[in-house]
Amino acid sequence: MNRKIVGLMIFMILLASQVLQAQGVRYIKGKVYEIINNKKEPSTGVNVVISTEQNRLLIGTITNSMGEYSLKVPADDAYKVVFSFIGMKPQTFRYTGQTELNVTMEEDAHSLSDVVITEQRQVKSEMGITMREQTSATQKINMDEIVKNLPVASVEEALQGRMSGVDIIASGDPGAKSSIRIRGTATLNSNSDPLIVINGVPYKTKINDSFNFSTANQEDYADMLNISPTDIETIEVLKDAASTAVYGTSGANGVLLITTKKGVKGNTHFTISSKETAKIEPNAIPMLNGDQYVAFIQDAIWNTANAQGIANSADYLKKLFDTPEINYNPDWRYFDEYNANTDWLSYIKKNAFISDNSFSMSGGGDKATYRFSIAQLNEGGTTVGTELKRLTTSLNIGYSFSDKLKVNADFAYSDADKKAPWTSSVRAEALSKMPNKSPFWIDDQTGLATDKYFTRQNSQEFQGAFNSSSGSSNYHPIIMANESYSNTKQKEENMTFRLNYDILSGLTYIGYVSMKFNTAKYRTFLPQSATDVTIDNTYANLSSDGYSNNLALQSENKLLYRKNWNQMHNIVATVLWRTSQSVSSNYSTEIYGASSAGMSDPVTGGSIKSLGSSNSEVRTLSGIGNFNYTLMDRYILNGTVNYEGNSSLGNANRWGLFPSLGFAWHAQEEDFLKDVEWLEQLKFRASIGQSGQAPSGTAPYVGTYKSIGQYVTGEAITPYSMQLNKLKWESSTESDFGVDLGFFNNQLTMTFDYYYKYTDDLLQEKVTIPSSAGYNDQSNKISYFNSGALSNRGWEYRIDYEIFKNEDWMLSSNFNINRNINTIETLPENLIESVYKFSNGEYAQKLIAGTPVGSFFGYKYDGVYQNTEETYARDAEGNVMVNLFDDPIVMKNGKYTCYPGDAKYVDLNNDGIINEKDIIYIGNSMPLVTGGGGFNVKYKNLSVTTFFHYRLGQKIINKARMESESMYGTDNQSKAVLRRWRNEGDDTTIPRALWNYGLNYLGSDRFVEDCSFLRLKTLSVSYNVPKNVCKKLYTNSINIFLTGYDMFTWTNYTGQDPEVSLPTGIKDLAFDNAQTPRSRRFAAGISVNF
């Protein structure tokens, strides 16, 4: 590979050096003037160059202080002599052997607008195809409009709800990963994120699979797209297989094409913008206070003791009367600390600020253009301890050697620093903490809290000792938020060198070499004070340090041919060869028992808990041919073939062939529609294409042997993983039918698309094989297996309407709506469903071929048994069932006999017992429709923009509510439980409190909620300071804006935030785990251009 890159470099250098070859000895000299105050003055610093007919620069100089120049003229051929200066009209003279040439420069008032005109050429895609010639579904948005007055930190956030078919769920914490899905999830276990392409170069964010930090929560380390939104010019989304085909298989989940801003010819422009945003945390769900909590716990224990019967309740009564934490016992040494009234959440949430400042500078002349930018973002989190700081800089230089040869170099550097507490469960912990406990020691004299943390958290304590499993619980949430950390520092350098050469008229060569180097450093620390574990515990002062780096090299060589015959036939043909190589390595160390928080660095001592390191490498090659033919400017046929090889697959199935074909018809060009004046565009599109997904990781197909120890003195080596020669590409076929409509000079445009994507040979990761194959010690797993099929079908509709426009007023609106249905077509072999556990809080999971994924199964909740009569079991006719002695049979929840006050579930099979057989379908987490829309109103220099985002018809298990209403353990509960059932006649749906007993919160529809929402995502007012005022301030333009973000949400959902991230695996159920809710944000900013 390196040979190849070196080859390309040498080749480019050769081209450049050819330019400098001198071919004879002739001179030309002269003097350059300009007119100043009607007087001819010598002009200094004028650019004088000799160039070929194709404007290839051969030699050049600038005039001295006397306006004089002298140049050596190369031999042979015909040349031009060009004089240029910024703000002057360039002058060109044919070289005919002159030895002296004097010139007078003239001012050029229109150079800026000239530039604009040349820039308005038809924009062509990477494949040299114009929008008009496309046969596939794409949508392009201009970032400037969005970014200018919105407080967005990331590209994902900016795009949310704006593009049809692109479903983004952003996270509430700074720097946390958002999930982006284009037209649904079409793969089970391999990567389902879309490919991001920046200026034509695929940007791979995924850190390799063998990334194995022992402590890492991989989602957290997920890679941010380290690019400042203000540097982005446009973003285009490619959705169907026919359009993504040119990006190879990595574009199988859709492609986001990002084009960054470039320097443009003309005077140097400076833009400074500054944005300050306040984040205001939404109101929390009210929790019980100290007294209410104690009363509830006592109630719960007493109820259980009663339900158990006197004979068995000794333990409970002891618990009830002998637990000092929940009793009034002033002699107890911790009495003060357990008779407080603490709102734990208030200590770990805060309002925060985001400040976002950027500066950019751009300009250029005939030969070279440049743009430099630097942006800094400081985003505070609403959970204490979370923060994101990011610095991004970029430099873009373009240079034209001639009209034929252009080179372009991009450099980008970013430095992101993300801070978070050691565990992401701080909020959940704060909510569940007993409110009668004080976070601080109480001074016995004054009765006031001291500044010393009260850390008692052990097995004798009422809520128990620190528990590290399942997201960890029982720790001091305030210390966790303030002193623990899980920090990520990421640095990324990105360099791309591009070359454009017009070989012949219509035939162009474009090539690039790109290098991206990413290093990430992770540090985590869990102070012992937060957990109060003993110092020999493996969680005492647990500290880890990890480092990973990744080098991605990519190159592409492309030949593009474009020709038109008699305005009848138009062809665009492309062939390209692309290579990519990604090499990663990482290590991590984890220690515990460091003597103090200050010694948290792993090298300072302590006992090693784990060590890890790994290397990985993935290479791909792909050859792509694309052919686009347009007949009579109305019938378009487009075909692409991608032949791609991936190092993650074995020799037999390494190469995949993925063809696609598209057709489009511009009906408005037909004679019978030509006269319809209001119809601007009527374009029908149809396409079908194939794509693939390769497994990830370093050659996961390779079989391995491993040493497993010794039998006495004999070394034992065993087959450890199987060689997977049959492993192959996961293949998908997508068809798309669309219509683009434009009316009244495109004042009203609409796009409708229907798609169907069928994914076969699904790649399943870590698949269980029968243990009879002999891999018992490896848990009978193989790394990947192709099996099963999945389909995504749906439609997208988008409308843009410029309702009114005149000199002063402009009113426009847009709206999009999308529907995606994800169905398991063939259930993968060996897909083992998680076994349903008949216990509180558990939902059943069923994966059935032909049904959409994301379904919940559970019990039907029917309120509370009010009296003994109601607890009698009834048959299908509603008659009370009796036993042999004619006594009524009492309902049972599992093995627990129901008493008044217990949860009542619908006994579907009328057998008197609530058990697995009473489970039915109770909802699905996939939204019915998603989308967004908004209005823009403009009056002179004032504009108001609104944008709404919605997801409708989606259900979610409100686990946060379940846990705060379960009344089962020691966790604090929400104020809702004050309505719990206590006596007959209590009109409530909340059962009685039971301490570690009964089945009062089985997974039922009680906690399944509709989380549809409509959210006013942005409301922005911006004002462009009038030109004449700007002129006085020596600026080109000034823009001031005020934006409210996530201000209102219309929803029936009772949780804090209906925008809940969905699980990635199809086997996981969608839970609301009380993540940080999105806060309301108010931003004010200014952008100055001069």
Partner 1 sequence: MKSIKHILLTVLLLAAFSSCNGWLEVIPQDKQTSDAYWNSQEDVDAVLTSGYLYLRNMTISYLIPLGELRGGSIYSITTNKLQSFQVKPTDESLCNWGPFYQIVNIANVVLADAKKAQEKDDTYEDEELKAHYCEAYFLRALSYFYLVRNWREVPLITTAYEDDSHTYNVAKSSEAEIIKQIKSDILAALNTGAAKETYNTTWETKGRATKWALDALMADVCLWSEDYSIAIQYCDNLMNAHSGNAPALMTTATHAKWFSMFNPGNSNESIFELQWEYQENQTNTLPVLFDNINTNKKYQLSSKLLEEFKLEYVYTQDNVLEAVRSLYGGFFTENPLTWESATNGYVWKYCGSQTLTDKRTATYYDPNFILYRMADVFLMKAEALVLKSDSKADWKEAIILVDSIRQRSNLEKWGFSDDYNEEDLLKKILYERRMELVGEGKCWYDLLRFGRRSNNKYKTTFLVDNVTLYNRQAGESWLISVMSNDDALFLPVSESELKANSLLVQNPYYY
Among 40, 94, 569, 726, binds partner 1 (CB under 8 A): 726
Q: Give the torsion sign (CA, 899, 900, 906, 909).
A: positive
According to the binding rule CB under 8 A, does residue 1007 interact with partner 1? no
CB of 579 to partner 1, least distance (A): 5
Buried/exposed 373-398: b ≥16 CB within 10 Å, e otherwise: bbbbbbbbbbbbbbbbbbbbbbbbbb
Q: Roughly how many angstroms between the first and final C-alpha of the chain, as a whole number?
A: 45
How is 537-605 classified by DSSP, letter by letter? STTTTEEEEEEEEEEEEEEEEEEEEEEEETTTEEEEEEEEEEEEEEEEEEEEEEEE--SSGGG-SGGG-
The residue (of 87 and 719) whose beta carbon lies closer to partner 1 is 719
Q: Give the torsion sign (CA, 123, 126, 128, 134).
A: negative
What's the per-residue H, E or C state across 1029-1043? HHHHCCCCEEEEEEE
Task: Answer whether 400's CB lies under 8 Å from 430's CB.
Answer: no
According to the binding rule CB under 8 A, does residue 846 interact with partner 1? no
- Using alpha carbons only, give the angle 478, 484, 485 rounded to the nearest 5 degrees: 130
Among 286, 471, 719, 1026, binds partner 1 (CB under 8 A): 719
- Kindly identify the residues of this chain, within the stretch 922-941, that bind partner 1 according to CB under 8 A: none
According to the binding rule CB under 8 A, does residue 834 interact with partner 1? no
Question: Which one, of 755, 706, 713, 708, lies nearest residue 734 by Cα?
Answer: 755
How many residues at the interface with partner 1, by CB under 8 A?
Answer: 74
**For residues 594 and 538, what is the distance between their CA atoms, to the nearest angstrom?**
10
Site string for partner 1, 57-86 (x = CB under 8 A): ------------------------------
> Beta strand pairing status for 195-198 and 255-260?
parallel
CB of 548 to partner 1, least distance (A): 15
Q: Cβ of 340: how many Cβ atoms within 10 Å?
A: 18
CB of 643 to partner 1, least distance (A): 10
According to the binding rule CB under 8 A, does residue 557 interact with partner 1? yes
According to the binding rule CB under 8 A, does residue 782 interact with partner 1? yes
346's CB contacts (< 8 A; 6+ apart) are none
Task: Answer whether 1063's CB lies under 8 Å from 1073's CB.
Answer: no
Among 145, 291, 403, 777, binds partner 1 (CB under 8 A): 777
The residue (of 617 and 802) whose beta carbon lies closer to partner 1 is 617
According to the binding rule CB under 8 A, does residue 716 interact with partner 1? yes
144's CB contacts (< 8 A; 6+ apart) are 233
- Kindly identify the residues of this chain, within the stretch 602-661, that bind partner 1 according to CB under 8 A: 614-621, 623, 645-647, 651, 654-655
The SS3 call for residue 77 is coil
The residue (of 15 and 739) whose beta carbon lies closer to partner 1 is 15
According to the binding rule CB under 8 A, does residue 727 interact with partner 1? yes
According to the binding rule CB under 8 A, does residue 849 interact with partner 1? no
- Kindly identify the residues of this chain, within the stretch 11-40, that bind partner 1 according to CB under 8 A: 11, 14-15, 18
The residue (of 715 and 987) whose beta carbon lies closer to partner 1 is 715
CB of 716 to partner 1, least distance (A): 4
What is the identity of the amino acid at 586? N
The stretch near partner 1 (CB under 8 A) out of 471-479, 702-710, 987-995, 1043-1051 is 702-710
The SS3 call for residue 298 is helix
According to the binding rule CB under 8 A, does residue 773 interact with partner 1? yes
According to the binding rule CB under 8 A, does residue 709 interact with partner 1? yes
Among 713, 806, 983, 1028, binds partner 1 (CB under 8 A): 713
**For residues 260 and 556, what is the distance between their CA atoms, to the nearest angstrom?**
19
The residue (of 497 and 947) whose beta carbon lies closer to partner 1 is 497
DSSP-derived letter for residue 1063 is P
The SS3 call for residue 871 is helix
Q: How many residues would you count in the chain?
A: 1090
Question: Which one, of 680, 682, 640, lies nearest residue 125 by Cα?
Answer: 640
The SS3 call for residue 1060 is coil
Task: Answer whether 582's CB lies under 8 Å from 208's CB.
Answer: yes
Among 36, 568, 832, 1033, binds partner 1 (CB under 8 A): 832
The residue (of 698 and 924) whose beta carbon lies closer to partner 1 is 698
- Kindly identify the residues of this chain, within the stretch 506-525, that bind partner 1 according to CB under 8 A: 509
**For residues 168 and 156, what is the distance between their CA atoms, to the nearest angstrom?**
7
**For residues 412 and 389, what is the distance between their CA atoms, to the nearest angstrom?**
17
- Kindly identify the residues of this chain, within the stretch 800-829, that bind partner 1 according to CB under 8 A: 829
Site string for partner 1, 130-159 (x = CB under 8 A): ------------------------------
- Using alpha carbons only, give the angle 415, 416, 422 rounded to the nearest 5 degrees: 145
According to the binding rule CB under 8 A, does residue 950 interact with partner 1? no
According to the binding rule CB under 8 A, does residue 547 interact with partner 1? no
According to the binding rule CB under 8 A, does residue 711 interact with partner 1? yes
CB of 1044 to partner 1, least distance (A): 51
CB of 1002 to partner 1, least distance (A): 21
List the structure tokens of 98: 């002159």
CB of 479 to partner 1, least distance (A): 37
> Beta strand pairing status for 103-105 and 26-36?
parallel
Among 97, 330, 447, 714, binds partner 1 (CB under 8 A): 714
- Using alpha carbons only, give the angle 432, 434, 439 rounded to the nearest 5 degrees: 105
Residue 708: which H helix or E strand, with range?
A: strand 704-711
Q: What is the largest CA-CA distance in the chain?
A: 128
The stretch near partner 1 (CB under 8 A) out of 126-134, 335-343, 498-506, 988-996 is 498-506
The residue (of 716 and 880) whose beta carbon lies closer to partner 1 is 716
According to the binding rule CB under 8 A, does residue 330 interact with partner 1? no
The residue (of 775 and 981) whose beta carbon lies closer to partner 1 is 775
The residue (of 360 and 581) whose beta carbon lies closer to partner 1 is 581
The stretch near partner 1 (CB under 8 A) out of 82-90, 441-449, 768-776, 909-917 is 768-776
How is 232-288 classified by DSSP, letter by letter? EEEEEEE-SHHHHGGGGGGGTT-EEEEEE----SEEEEEEEEEEEEEEEPPPPPPB-
- Kindly identify the residues of this chain, within the stretch 569-588, that bind partner 1 according to CB under 8 A: 577, 579
The stretch near partner 1 (CB under 8 A) out of 94-102, 113-121, 358-366, 704-712 is 704-712
CB of 53 to partner 1, least distance (A): 15
CB of 723 to partner 1, least distance (A): 4
CB of 836 to partner 1, least distance (A): 12
The residue (of 390 and 558) whose beta carbon lies closer to partner 1 is 558
According to the binding rule CB under 8 A, does residue 839 interact with partner 1? no
According to the binding rule CB under 8 A, does residue 703 interact with partner 1? yes
Among 482, 780, 814, 826, binds partner 1 (CB under 8 A): 780
862's CB contacts (< 8 A; 6+ apart) are 904, 905, 906
According to the binding rule CB under 8 A, does residue 967 interact with partner 1? no
The residue (of 586 and 1075) whose beta carbon lies closer to partner 1 is 586
The stretch near partner 1 (CB under 8 A) out of 103-111, 717-725, 974-982, 1055-1063 is 717-725
The residue (of 24 and 703) whose beta carbon lies closer to partner 1 is 703
The stretch near partner 1 (CB under 8 A) out of 354-362, 629-637, 695-703, 997-1005 is 695-703
According to the binding rule CB under 8 A, does residue 702 interact with partner 1? yes
